[in-house]
C-alpha cells in the first residue's frame, strides 16, 4: 500500500502526520515541582520506623507508578510493619502539608495560558488520585478553570504506564487520541 498517489516504487513521500488538536499534561515533574516541595518527607517517615532512606534504591525506582503500587513497593522494600493502605494513610497527610508549597515549573503557567487563550483543549492526566490533584493545583491561580478535563488514576481502569488516562482524557475532550500531544516526564 502506498502512502500517496505516486506510482513509483522508490517514492520517499512521508505519510501525513496527524494534526494536533488537544494537549494532555502530566502534573508531577511536568507542571509542578512536587519533588522539591516534599523532599525529606519520605526520609522523615522512614525514621519513625527506624529505617534509613536507601538513596540508591530510590534512584532506581520506576516513576509513573500508581499510589497503591508505590505503597506496596515501599512496604516490601523497607520491610515496614504496615499494609500498603496503612502506609498511605500515614504518609499522605505529611505530603499534603507540603503540597501547598509546590511551585510551577518554569514555563508551565505561560504554556497553560497560551493553549487556553488560543482555544486548544487541555487536559491534566496524572497517576495521583483526583483529590490529590485538586489539592496540588488549588493554589495555582487559574489552572483548575483552564483545564477542560482533569483525571486521576482512580478515575480509570489502570494508571500509567497504561494509556487509559490519556485515552480517557482525549475522549472527554471529544478528540481522537491520535490528535493529542502528551507532555509527560515519565517513559
Residue 67 has pLDDT above 60, yes or no: yes
CA distance 92 to 89: 6
> Of the spans 3-7, 31-35, 109-113, which averages the highest pLDDT?
109-113
Are 92 and 137 found together in one domain? no
Which has more pLDDT, 18 or 23?
23
Residue 16 lies in a domain: no
Residue 2 lies in a domain: no
Indicate the residue among 100, 118, 147 that finishes a domain: 100
Are 79 and 143 found together in one domain? no
Where b means 16+ CB within 10 Å and e means fewer, 128-146 reads: bbeebbebbbeebeebeeb
Phi-psi group of 107: left, alpha or beta (phi > 0 → left; psi -120 to 50 → alpha; rest → beta): left
Average pLDDT over the chain, rounded to an integer: 89
**Residue 173 confidence (pLDDT):** 98
Are 114 and 153 found together in one domain? yes
For residue 170, what is the domain's CATH number? Answer: 3.40.50.1000
Residue 43 lies in a domain: yes
pLDDT range class, residue 2, cuts 50, 70, 90:
very low
**Residue 72 confidence (pLDDT):** 95
Q: What is the arithmetic mean of pLDDT over 90-108?
A: 93
Q: Tell me whether the omega of the peptide bond preceding residue 88 falls within 30 degrees of 0, making it cis.
A: no
> Which amino acids are annotated catalytic?
26, 28
- Identify the bridge partners of residue 27 per DSSP, sorted by sequence position: none
Are 108 and 172 found together in one domain? yes
Are 146 and 157 found together in one domain? yes
**Residue 3 confidence (pLDDT):** 41
**Chain segment 5-21, per-residue pLDDT in tens:** 455 555 555 667 779 99
Domain that holds residue 144: 22-33+104-183
Q: What is the arithmetic mean of pLDDT over 33-39?
A: 85
List of residues 6+ apart from 168 with CB closer than 8 A: 125, 151, 155, 156
Amino acid at each position: 500500500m502506498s502512502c500517496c498517489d505516486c506510482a513509483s516504487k522508490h517514492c520517499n513521500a512521508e505519510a501525513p502526520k496527524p494534526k494536533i488538536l488537544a494537549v494532555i499534561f502530566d502534573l508531577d515533574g511536568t507542571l509542578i515541582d512536587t519533588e522539591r516541595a516534599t523532599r525529606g518527607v519520605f526520609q522523615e517517615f522512614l525514621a519513625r520506623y527506624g529505617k534509613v532512606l536507601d538513596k540508591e534504591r530510590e534512584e532506581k525506582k520506576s516513576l509513573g507508578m500508581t499510589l497503591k503500587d508505590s505503597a506496596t513497593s515501599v512496604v516490601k522494600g523497607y520491610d515496614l510493619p504496615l499494609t500498603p493502605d496503612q502506609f498511605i494513610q500515614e504518609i499522605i497527610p505529611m505530603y499534603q502539608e507540603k503540597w501547598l508549597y509546590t511551585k510551577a515549573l518554569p514555563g508551565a503557567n505561560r504554556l497553560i495560558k497560551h493553549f487556553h487563550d488560543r482555544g486548544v483543549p487541555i487536559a491534566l492526566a496524572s497517576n495521583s488520585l483526583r483529590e490529590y490533584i485538586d489539592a496540588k493545583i488549588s493554589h495555582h491561580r487559574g489552572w483548575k478553570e483552564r483545564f477542560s478535563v482533569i483525571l486521576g488514576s482512580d478515575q480509570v481502569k489502570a494508571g500509567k504506564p497504561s494509556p487509559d488516562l490519556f485515552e480517557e482524557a482525549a475522549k472527554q475532550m471529544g478528540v481522537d487520541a491520535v490528535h493529542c500531544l502528551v507532555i509527560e516526564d515519565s517513559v
